[in-house]
Structure 1
Amino acid sequence: MKLEVKKIGNSTGLILPKELLAELKLKQGDWLYVTELPDGGVRLTTTDPEFDKAMAIAEDLMDEYRDTLTELAK
């Protein structure tokens, strides 16, 4: 899919076709996150990659310290 960069008011932006919005389950007011790729490209996602990374670390820690956390919860 090819998108044109356009002037929108005093800004510059992309207009996403309704088919793409539907596929990504996006609506006005939602956020897209941009990740730079090693090859110079970019990836647009609907989830925050930094949050996903932090949650993976938290899940690993919770698995490692499951017994300790269970005792602290009592």
Structure 2
Amino acid sequence: MSNLKVEKVGDALGIVLPEEVLKKLEVKEGDTLYILDTPDGIKITTFDPNLDTAIKAYEKVNQKYTNALRELSK
């Protein structure tokens, strides 16, 4: 992987991601990246960790109330 240098950007600090990293992440200007703490260190991802929680909650409700949701969708 690449080494990144922390640079001053206005009143903040920032890093510039190399083109190869941007391609692997499949991101473009304006996209959101998420920084997660993991047991192995920091992870930068395009995956919203809150989305996984919401999907699991939906699946639980969907299983319990499948018939009611089907009727409400009509």
TM-score, normalization by structure 1:
0.80
Q: Distance between the aligned counterparts of 1:65 and 1:30, measured in 2?
A: 35
1:5 aligned onto 2:6: yes
Letter of the aligned partner of 1:4 in structure 2?
A: K
Number of residue equivalences: 73
Aligned to 2:70: 70
The Cα RMSD (Å) is 1.7
Q: Distance between the aligned counterparts of 1:60 and 1:3, measured in 2?
A: 42
State the 4+ residue runs in structure 1 displaced beyond 4 angstroms: none
Partner SS for 2:43: strand
- Post-superposition shift, 1:44? 1.3
Q: Distance between the aligned counterparts of 1:12 and 1:45, measured in 2?
A: 19
Partner SS for 2:36: strand
- Post-superposition shift, 1:52? 1.9
- Post-superposition shift, 1:40? 6.4
